[in-house]
A and B are shown apart, each in its own frame.
Chain A
């Protein structure tokens, strides 16, 4: 299917979802189909930076910001339809409309699956799903669900793997105040870069929750093919292995989040990500601080790409070797001014250091970023 056609289909479905949603809320309100649940989310994001910078975005891509220019590139609206088809079978579709990095309106279908409840708290889901590698990878587009202005995970998510087409089985247990969920996912992952084609993925995730604490961990393996920008296939059968652990602990009004993930890949760079964040809830106002570190390690001992055919590009770009680091430290305030609407103001310092390009030498820069967001769910 041509890319432009699939994009048209995606846009059409998304505009229809939003339109039906608005229609349902404005006309039928409580009288909408008994078995249909409609939920929506939005983020209006105004961000300004003092230097040119690429930042993690709410949708798949990074967002490039020009110095001292307020922009709304990270603004997004999404809708979800959840229809109970039978007593055990549910259909689920969720999409979003957002600005892309070129300031065009873009769309995505993020979830589209059928879910079957087998009883005994066992559920299977088939279709297009988000990869449950980190808490934030499944909820990336729903800004209301996180404390911070943007996801703290790397710009490309779980080493670039954001979603997959496949199946998963979820099993949960509860005992007193303790609740466990186990999730096994298999399928074909999609990578954020066109040069990387995910092939087969297996992921196992385990999560524990009680009233004051949650912890989740995931382990993932995927095979992938990788080619150059000239469509030269570098490898058809490379491997990436990833592991993550995250936790949230609430003591009285203090909420602390920590997270760590790392990957080992045959050809693509190895990612390591960690973060720590604390928020103090003062009724509807929650001031917070955070620190996040993202590292990409490029290893020149990895196999070189084959030489281009004679007569084509005579210049071979040296393979990156070394580390690319990004440290984010920030403070912010989240104000829940109604039960489903909030305002966030965040100031952060982003430090970038890259020594992976021999010709360019060490690249270092530092930017200050101010963001103001209105986010909601309804």
Chain B
């Protein structure tokens, strides 16, 4: 019975992480992005959405999906990515998405600017957000 309970709990935890989606502010003019658009924004290759509007990427600092997200968009591990960010940050040519410690912090920032974009679990999506990409 104890093992069944633990197994059920694990199953619940796995499911509760949900699928990773990319969201923008609900009143943003962006309705859809490609995985390449998302990579360009989150890898600091551009500061703009494809329509020219300013993009402000945000993320959860210690999210479980963080490594997986960057692996998907860049093919790099967390350590390889750290080397990439070091070269950009210390030449002033780019910086990673602003990190927030809790979903609440991220959500409060998210609602304050029309240009914000974030990736998160679909379980955290609120009615103030618009999903513009779903990872398969």
Contact = CB atoms under 8 A, between A and B. Distances in A.
A145 B93 contact: no
Contacts of A121: 46-48
Contacts of A181: 93
Interface string B38-61: 001000011110001010000001
Contact of A336 (B47, B74, B79): B79
Given A121-B46, A179-B45, A113 B92 contact: yes
B91 interface: yes
Contact of A145 (B52, B87, B95, B101): B87
Interface string A103-118: 0000000010101010
Given A87-B54, A121-B48, A139 B101 contact: no
A231 interface: no
Nearest to A93: B92
Contact of B89 (A80, A132, A170): A80
A211 interface: yes
Contact of A115 (B83, B90, B92, B109): B92
A144 interface: yes
A92 B46 contact: no
Nearest to B82: A339
A245 interface: no
A284 B76 contact: no
A30 B99 CA distance: 9
B86 A37 contact: no
Contacts of A284: 79
Nearest to B100: A30
Interface in B1-59: 36, 40, 45-48, 52, 54
B95 A37 contact: yes
A160 B109 CA distance: 46
A229 interface: no
B91 A172 contact: no
Contacts of A115: 92
A124 B91 CA distance: 14
Interface of B: 36, 40, 45-48, 52, 54, 61, 74-76, 78-79, 82-83, 86-87, 89-93, 95, 100-101, 109
16 contacts: A30-B61, A34-B109, A82-B92, A94-B90, A94-B92, A121-B46, A121-B47, A138-B90, A145-B83, A172-B45, A176-B36, A179-B40, A212-B75, A339-B78, A339-B79, A377-B86
